[in-house]
Homo-oligomer: A and B are copies of this chain.
Amino acid sequence: MNLSIESPRDLIATLGYLCLGSRLKRLGERMQTSVAQHLGARGHEVQPAQLPLLWALQEHGGAMTIGALGERLGISQPGVSRAIASLEGQGLVRPTRAGKDRRQRQIAISPAGEALMADLSARFFPAVQRAVEQLCLAAGPDLLARIDRIEDDLADAPLEARIAAQLAKADA
């Protein structure tokens, strides 16, 4: 073991939090991949990251703009644009008659989209929900609530500012 720089134990402890971003990304990726595999096996072209958009449109009960979708789901606007373009190609959503403001597009779920959601809601979504819930509860309660909390806190003070504050505090 090379101890020329400093104690590796310190490095390990520090890297534990430093790697959290990468670990969370990988964990999320694996969840999405599993859902994608099941969707593919059922013959559905839709991607897991597109399901929240269909859900939001269905929950809203009418047409929504790209910006409203992004705000509702916490996804960046370009991400929504790309996903909606794909969903349009699959015929799962459709643009409705433009309103007064011709800059924005009004997007609504299509009958095919509603049929897809009805199909998946019957058995598939509950199965995924129970599988993920089982996984999370085994590690402790209220994981979703804590993710909520972290997202809210980050909205108040971005991590970038928090790091800057810690650096400044260390200087003092």
A114 within 8 A of B: yes
Query: A135–B38 Cα gap in the complex (Å)?
Result: 34
Query: A58–B22 Cα gap in the complex (Å)?
Result: 19
A147 within 8 A of B: yes
Query: A143–B51 Cα gap in the complex (Å)?
Result: 27
Q: Which of B6, B15, B147 contacts A20 (CB 8 A)?
A: B147
Q: Which residue of B lies closest to A124 (CB)?
A: B167
A59 within 8 A of B: yes
Contact A15 B159 (CB under 8 A): no
How many interface residues does A have (CB within 8 Å)? 88
Contact A163 B29 (CB under 8 A): no
Report if A34-B150 is in contact (Cβ < 8 Å); known contacts: A21-B48, A28-B24, A114-B4.
Answer: no
Q: Which residue of B lies closest to A1 (CB)?
A: B61
Contact B23 A151 (CB under 8 A): yes
Report if A125-B159 is in contact (Cβ < 8 Å); known contacts: A8-B58, A143-B146.
Answer: no
Chain B residues positioned under 8 Å from A18 (CB to CB) = 35, 48, 51-52, 125, 128-129, 132
10 tightest Cβ-Cβ pairs between the two chains A and B: A21-B31, A24-B28, A2-B61, A25-B28, A127-B166, A131-B162, A34-B159, A139-B149, A34-B160, A139-B146
Q: List 17 A-B contacts (CB under 8 A).
A: A1-B61, A2-B58, A2-B61, A2-B62, A8-B59, A14-B125, A20-B132, A26-B74, A30-B154, A35-B163, A37-B160, A127-B167, A128-B163, A128-B166, A130-B166, A131-B159, A139-B150
